[in-house]
Structure 1
């Protein structure tokens, strides 16, 4: 029997199957992340990337397989308990609180439940994203898409997560804002933050991620390093449409 508390993995997803009603979306999908790694989840639209994230977070419960975080089985836990174990989510669509100010959005999420030695504070988030300091008194629904994404990342970091998950990290953002988000993620990685990211920008992903998983129709069809992915253009064309 494998001792999952000592095998070096922060997150292990093994053979999960997830359905929406009678429609099955994930078919035995597997992936894993080590502490301090930045890993991407790639694939065309509709192949199950967001459902994978929802399954990890307990928002849509997998009906089979195992999900372990920090050695603890989480598949049957409610989503709030999974978040409390140390997973911060930046969801697709951002889902910030529209009727709270930027500062209130950040402070509302603030917690150091796991006792981080150097926890995120409002000042640190402002240093990461100066625009959030400038817009602190604005309501969430008064922000641009890029500012909302910065706020969603800042809000997730204020929970001091062991693992940060971003679903469509730069989707629909202006080029300059995209660069700011990628620079932020690169900085977070350099500080040892574990990250799972979904995005379509293969160039940026291969520059800063350690490893990649490609999924097709709810199954893991390939995994490997950035060098391995860049060496296989046929793979990118087949599964990513590049």
Structure 2
């Protein structure tokens, strides 16, 4: 049986007096790709912020690799082995592509096959071409590639992508999906937020749908595809 890498149980998170998550629960097993889905404003990004300690949960448990992380600061959670590709990319605009990648490099988890600049360039050849360009000069698609590469350079046990392909051109979106498919083939554990049900169903093992800060459905890709009414009700498809 696969090890439970990330486990969230009964999490409640607020912004001031406004509560966003109401007893949210989900799990990611080692080597599994899990999709977190739902309409805009339903708590997906808040879930990621709660996992990473950027917005502290007021109740519930968040365990990563068996350790309770709910009360830990963000940098300690990241050092345990979580690589985040945040919404909006948030690359370092005044560093070059190469400097962005090197700034995040590390092998804190003792990875047997660690990520290197060369491997990131093989994954995204465009980053090799733009190596000396400042981050601020990149297109949105190039910035997303860089954000993914930067997260991978930390050799994460779990890679989290918030809005993996939002706002990207179709060809770039396809390149990102191909990248995620390759990462799954490598056994990389991934938690991904996106709206593309077709691509998520193709590569994700399981899906969670949240509505108003609560988990309302979980199941496999086959189950999600078989329930178009569910997609219409909770995803607006």
Same fold (TM over 0.5): yes
Displacement after TM superposition at 1:47 (Å): 0.1
- The two structures have a TM-score, normalised by structure 1, of 0.97
Aligned match of 1:216? 211
Instruction: State the SS of the aligned residue for 2:60.
Output: strand
Corresponding residue SS for 1:10: strand
Corresponding residue pairs, total: 237
Q: Which residue of 1 aligns with 2:92?
A: 97
Within 1, Cα distance between the matches of 2:159 and 2:45?
15
Residue in structure 1 matched with residue 183 of structure 2 by the alignment: 188
Aligned equivalent of 1:88, options 83, 103, 106: 83
**Structure-1 residue corresponding to 2:142:** 147
Aligned partners of 1:142, 1:160: CA distance in 2, in Å? 26
Asked if 1:55 is matched to 2:50, the reply is yes
- Alignment counterpart, residue 45 of structure 1, candidates 34, 40, 43: 40
Alpha-carbon displacement from aligned partner over 1:117-152 (angstroms, at most 9, x marks no partner):
110000000000000000000000000000000000
| Cα distance, 1:7 vs structure 2 | 7.7
Alpha-carbon deviations, 1:42-68, whole Å to 9, x = none? 000000000000000000010000000
Structure 1: state its 5+ residue gaps.
Answer: 1-5
Cα displacement (A) at 1:153: 0.0
SS class of match (1:116): coil
Tell me the SS of whatever aligns to 1:214: strand
For 1:177, which of 145, 165, 172 is the aligned residue?
172
| Partner SS state of residue 57, structure 2 | coil
Q: Give me the CA root mean square deviation.
A: 0.8
- What's the CA shift for 1:114? 1.1
Whether 2:115 is the aligned partner of 1:137: answer: no
Per-residue displacement from partner, 1:15-70 (whole Å, max 9, x unpaired)? 00000000000000000000000000000000000000000000001000000000
Match of 2:21 among 20, 26, 29: 26
Q: Which of these residues, 73, 76, 80, is aligned with residue 78 of structure 1? A: 73
Task: Classify the secondary structure of the residue corresponding to 1:155.
Answer: helix
For residues 77-102 of structure 1, give each alpha carbon's deviation from its aligned partner in whole angstroms, at most 9, with x where no partner exists: 00000000000000000000000000
Could you state the TM-score of these two structures normalised by the residue count of structure 2? 0.99
1:97 aligns to what SS in structure 2? Answer: coil
Q: Segments of 4+ in structure 1 off by > 2 A?
A: none
Inter-partner Cα distance in structure 2 for 1:229 and 1:182: 19
